[in-house]
Structure 1
């Protein structure tokens, strides 16, 4: 759900602004010939995006709380979550403005948004490891979805127990060579992931399985 949330925020922001500039192309050219300056015109679009991002982030947060009950450690995390949603939505809005300024017409703008947003899926770091994609680490630094997804994961604490597991800290070759006795000391490795790793999205997580299933 965190990955989908990161995609939705960027998508909502981009769709809100993808027509903002291109639909006013004729008006802009006429006003530009008189006295309209580029910077004030762009800022007039950006401040609207800021207001919309505040509103859209609030709606997204409320929807998330009502329907998915995000497992956040404390009340302060909700404010951090709202801030992350706001920044991500605003990034999407600015991406939409960039597309709108580059597109020759409104139909082309809607097609370009697909081209720009597809990499947001690929390089967010959730679908596949970035080190398996040539240049993935570098490209992902320019993707808002990557930073949004990482922020969501850090805020929720998901996977912290897995990260600190001593077995997973070993190189892949060493992990394969571990004996059953050595694996027993690692709460989130091997069979222990089903009995001891409570914070990982697995059998012990209440977000995925109820108490009855866990007892089975």
Structure 2
């Protein structure tokens, strides 16, 4: 038995039913985990259920953000670290539980809330914060819409996009270093170019029925020698 190469497909492997596997793979994509969360998930071998640690992570992040805004700046960086340690190990879980659909929603609340709070409390222009959140919302909506058509974003996009964990860590480090404004600007530009360009490229390779054109098979067909009768 061969294991799937795509990490999103690997999380769905324990399900025998195709529809359940499809649902689990979609939830894995919706999480938008970065490389660090992925490593923690592999270390946990998918044994840690995702929802309870995420709820704790959301509460801890909220408490630390309130304390950080109140003057304890070092707690701002502690929030994403603790959120990562709590939520990361559950990233490899198949997400087949009855309420596991809530995991991506909680992650989005943690990420968006953290980035907005850090930006607003560290003199980042509000329009820039809104644009960054808009870029992320575009990426996540694009992922949702694509997976509904069974079009899967390439695995490298999640790594290149740094994941929710990487983006929160960058924002926290930038806040501690007092460079939140330029960090948000660079992050917004980088992610905007990455997500929009990848999305346009992916949809341009899609036929009218909504099925991704397999260009590798086309290349093989073109280079294959003709049949000789």
Which protein shows a greater Rg? 1
TM-score (norm 1): 0.28
Output the TM-score relative to the length of structure 2. 0.27
